[in-house]
Amino acid sequence: MAKDTLNSKTAEEIETIISRIQNDVSGGNYDFSKCDSIILNHDGKKRYVKEYKDIYSTESIMCLYIKHILDRTFRVRYPNRNKSVRELLNVLTAVKQMGAFTIVKFDFKDYFNSVSAPYVFEKFIRPQMSNRFEISLISDFVSNTKYAYAGLVTSNVLSEIVAKSFDDEVRKAFILKGILFFERYIDDGIIIFNEDVPIDDIQDVLNRSLEKAYLDTSLVVQPKCKTRFNHDKFFHVTRKDITSTSISFDYLGYEVFICKGTGRRNKPIIEMTYGITQSKQEKYKKRVCDFITLFADPASVDYQNIEMLRHRLSAFASRTVYQGNKFNTPVWKVKGFIANYGELRYLLDTGQVDSRTVDYLKTLLESAFVATGTDLPHFLKSEQSRAGYNLYDNMRKNKTLLFVERIGYDYDSLSKKCGQIGIKTVDKDGKRRGYGTMVREYLIKTKVGY
């Protein structure tokens, strides 16, 4: 269930919350150590997270305030996943034409939970701040939370502050090594050089950069950062290493396959194709199988609800665009499988998409019904009707569900769509529900998320 937000509170309720928080802060009546510890199972891996379950608690609101302070002070620029992938693919297009190159992929292990909040505060934050109240508040927060645990809204900003120092060290160290491209998306990094750089030289620089940024022994602070590289996922290849046998590396769910081929007049060339990693393919297939199971299981509240299944599969196979609010400012949000792997859209007709990924995109829905032992519903039985749910075709067309009243579904169209899966257009008092409220419920019911 999606969390409630201030947008759903009345003006009087918001005023009461603000008044209570002001009194708590002025009286020191809050305790940042009261966050709850949770273990989540994410893609088969256990994730240790912490959060303030009551989003209106003084601790939770002050946590947001601290993030705002740090974002403002350090002007943190958070990485954009699609932009990172787009730039990488553009660079690789040029790299494969070069006479020499080196590609390196690295990542950190259990990144957020390894970054010491007191360490980041003492090394980077305290020297940059002058407001005594803010310094005292953040000092209290980091001393009680210990690490930049996943789940806390401050985790991204704390980890990015120290990671920027790491990035600067890497770029500075490689400036004379022909560094062509360097991108780090949270805990995943990739470096491309326009020359042959030995693996030992690269690992030496990465280790020294990590020590300077995360393991400064001149600081007497506890706990210390536990930040380490995940050596099992380190990848290094130079042009001269590439043979006719394909090798690959992954980045943000995409997989890049590299091998040596033959061009005109039998001239050796480097060939690259792109796809979706096996683990991500399995993740999304499981999601579709879950939709089907909810439809086929007699114990499910959605048992034999064909309209619910149809809407969920349609939403899954589309790019969903809607507007949310952040600090009372409209924010565009884009979700869905096609949005997550949108960079493949431009390569579908070029022969540069891995054949296994092409087959996956074309047959995912059908294979999910086979996997669950469920017959295809009527709306997927004909080739013509099935086309609207085909990931390959929808990706080519960039099929979009646009939930923005002025330019997408209007109120009447949204009402009709919601009515098909049992979402009412009036509240318990008989008043017409707002456009945004119905969009929110529709996205939650169809499992897109809000």
Element (H, E) at 189: strand 188-193
Decide if pLDDT at 201 tops 50.
yes
Contact, 63 vs 152, CB < 8 A? yes
Chain CA centroid to CA 412, Å:
33
Closest Cα partner for 62 from 132, 3, 142, 116?
Answer: 142
Decide if pLDDT at 369 tops 50.
yes
Domain ranges of the chain: 31-276, 280-445
Query: Any idea which residue has 């600081």 for tokens?
Result: 219
In the chain, % helix, strand, coil (3-state, to 5) comes to 50, 20, 30
**Which residues are within 8 A (CB) of 51 and not within 5 positions of it... i.e. 6 or more apart?**
35, 36, 38, 151, 152
Low-confidence winner among 4-8, 179-183, 352-356 (lowest mean pLDDT):
4-8
Closest Cα partner for 125 from 205, 191, 221?
Answer: 221
Could you give the CA distance from residue 373 to residue 297 in angstroms, rounded to a whole number? 11
Contact, 435 vs 7, CB < 8 A? no
Contact, 161 vs 70, CB < 8 A? yes
46 vs 321, higher pLDDT:
321
pLDDT on residue 323: 87
pLDDT on residue 8: 58
CA angle 213, 193, 355 (to 5 degrees): 110
Could you give the CA distance from residue 301 to residue 132 in angstroms, rounded to a whole number? 55
Low-confidence winner among 245-259, 286-300, 304-318, 380-394 (lowest mean pLDDT):
380-394
For the segment 408-444, what is each residue's pLDDT rounded down to a tens digit? 999 999 999 999 999 999 888 888 999 999 999 999 9
Summary mean pLDDT of the chain: 92
**3-class secondary structure, 265:** helix
9 vs 251, higher pLDDT:
251
The pTM for the full model equals: 0.89
pLDDT average, residue stretch 44-59: 85
pLDDT on residue 347: 95
pLDDT on residue 48: 83
* Distances, alpha carbon 3 to alpha carbons 6, 40, 55, 169, in Å: 10, 17, 8, 39
- Enter the tokens of residue 115: 């970054």
pLDDT average, residue stretch 222-242: 95
Chain CA centroid to CA 357, Å:
20
**3-class secondary structure, 78:** coil
**3-class secondary structure, 275:** strand
For the segment 385-409, what is each residue's pLDDT rounded down to a tens digit? 888 899 999 999 999 999 998 899 9
pLDDT average, residue stretch 357-371: 96
pLDDT average, residue stretch 164-170: 96
For the segment 238-280, what is each residue's pLDDT rounded down to a tens digit? 999 999 999 999 999 999 999 998 888 888 899 999 999 999 9
Decide if pLDDT at 450 tops 80.
no
Closest Cα partner for 152 from 57, 30, 31, 67?
Answer: 67
**Which residues are within 8 A (CB) of 422 and not within 5 positions of it... i.e. 6 or more apart?**
308
Could you give the CA distance from residue 50 to residue 150 in angstroms, rounded to a whole number? 6
pLDDT on residue 1: 34
pLDDT average, residue stretch 85-99: 94
- Enter the tokens of residue 324: 């949310």
Decide if pLDDT at 3 tops 60.
no
Decide if pLDDT at 43 tops 70.
no
Confidence of residue 14 (pLDDT cuts 50, 70, 90): confident
Task: List the beta bridge partners of residue 326.
Answer: 329
Confidence of residue 40 (pLDDT cuts 50, 70, 90): confident
Residue 284, sorted as left (phi over 0), alpha (psi -120 to 50) or beta, turns out to be alpha
pLDDT on residue 297: 95
pLDDT on residue 385: 80
Decide if pLDDT at 328 tops 70.
no
Decide if pLDDT at 2 tops 50.
no
Decide if pLDDT at 327 tops 70.
no
- Enter the tokens of residue 390: 């085909």
- What is the percentage of the chain residues whose pLDDT exceeds 90? 77
Closest Cα partner for 147 from 124, 169, 185, 118?
Answer: 118
